[in-house]
Amino acid sequence: MAVYTEVSLAEADTFLQSLALGSLQHMEGCAGGIENTNYFVTTDQAPYVLTLFERLTAVQLPFYLRLMKHLALHGIPVPDPAANRDGDVLHSLNGKPAAVVNRLNGRSELNPGPAHCTALGDVLARMHLAGRDFAMQQPNLRGLPWWNETVPVVLPFLDAAQASLLRSELAYQNHVATLSAYGALPRGPIHADLFRDNAMFAQDLAEGESPRLTGIFDFYFAGVDAWLFDIAVCLNDWCVDLPTGRADLQRSRALLQAYEKVRPLTAQERDLLPALARAGALRFWLSRLWDLHLPREAAMLKPHDPTHFERVLRERIVAPLTASSLAPTEALPA
């Protein structure tokens, strides 16, 4: 059972009014989370999400919240943290760090098609460009150093074939990180966890209208890393055949071509796409192994199946996802 921080209606009302967000009209706990306490709150002004952070600290949180504020100010559809009169976006409520963001409209598309991937590729590229002048720095905390620390911890839980794959892939990724082409990859703030359930699409589309991405959320794994890694994470989730882990080339082309209409890839990115696609699969295979075999006491959701990303990784090794394989073959979806 997760640890929740109870917030009364009176406490929430006082808190929201202190941020000039209006008087509380409705409040509902949100059970869909394993690390934070979330409430859907509606005032006489607008609907919001109130979050009390149970694990992340007041030292860690400013990067995530300020990044969201920065992206929102640049027109990227992300939750916009409410600031107090001093401009602070991190607050305190009942002894916990807290934040309030606007509630996004729409719903996640768990069975995306090429047109959804086109919308994602466009927003992802615009998000990367918008983050270029974000001044704060924090590394991707689930990047290569974390992989090197975590692999020895999960190896005892694996069979011989899995352990061999994990060791060899970690060695390969350590080698990639030494390449001059890797050092030349364009970098900046990335989401690092932009799965299909962390984006929302409009539901009020007219007949024949293309999907419209209305929001990207859950930035609490964000950090500064290669933009290509963010692209790879998206390709590995949005553009994959779930039963086999194989790349869906039509969706992959739609995503990458839409991205490149906004920000063309560099030569180094084209060369290293196969390696970073493997890196994205390794990262989530490893984190799912960690969650399965070393669960946190507060987790309230069943851990995701690690074997899915094991399959994706094996596929990325035997059938590399190359930039040439995603070259245009036909017009993008309208």
Whether residue 1 lies inside any domain: the answer is no
User: Does residue 108 belong to any structural domain of this protein?
Assistant: no
How many independent structural domains does the chain possess?
2
| Residue 265, domain member (yes or no) | yes
Looking at the structure, tell me whether residues 229 and 259 fall in a common domain. yes
Tell me the DSSP string of 216-261. E---TT-EEEEHHHHHHHHHHHHTB-TTT--B-HHHHHHHHHHHHH
CB-neighbour burial class of residue 23 (10 A; exposed 0-12, middle 13-18, buried 19+): exposed
Give yes or no: residues 272 and 140 share one domain: yes
My answer on whether 118 and 200 are in the same domain is yes
Across the chain, which has 334 residues, the per-10-residue mean pLDDT values are 74 97 94 77 97 90 97 98 96 96 95 98 98 96 97 97 98 98 98 97 90 95 97 98 96 98 98 98 97 67 84 98 84 45
CATH number at residue 272: 3.90.1200.10
In a domain, 3, yes or no: no
**Containing structural domain, residue 33:** 9-102
Q: For position 43, what pLDDT does the model report?
A: 98
DSSP string, 169-216: HHHHHHHHTTSHHHHTS-EEEE-S---GGGEEE-S-PPTTPPP-EEEE
* pLDDT the model gives residue 304: 84
Statement to judge: residues 86 and 229 lie in one domain: no
Do 137 and 252 belong together in one domain? Answer: yes
What pLDDT was estimated at residue 216? 98
**Tokens found for residue 82:** 């409410």
Examine the fold and report which residue of 76, 102, 128 is the final residue of a domain before the chain moves on.
102
Residues 178 and 71 placed together within one structural domain of the fold: no
167 and 262 in a single domain? The answer is yes
Co-location of 270 and 299 in the same domain: yes
Give the model's pLDDT for residue 32.
61
pLDDT score of 328: 77
- Per the rule left: phi > 0, alpha: psi between -120 and 50, beta: everything else, 148 is alpha
Identify the domain boundary among 54, 74, 102: 102
Query: Residue 23 belongs to a domain with what CATH number?
Result: 3.30.200.20
The answer on 167 and 25 residing in a single domain is: no
Structure tokens at 327: 């070259």
Beta bridge partners of residue 51, listed in sequence order: 38, 99
Boundary residue ending a domain (75, 102, 129)? 102
151 domain residue, yes or no: yes
How confident is the model at residue 204, as a pLDDT?
Answer: 86
Query: Does one domain contain both 249 and 296?
Result: yes
- For residues 66 and 211, membership in a common domain is answered with no
Proportion of the chain in helix, strand, coil states, percent, rounded to 5: 45, 15, 40
* 98/131 same-domain check: no
Residue 93 forms beta bridges with which residues?
96
Query: Does 334 map to a domain?
Result: no
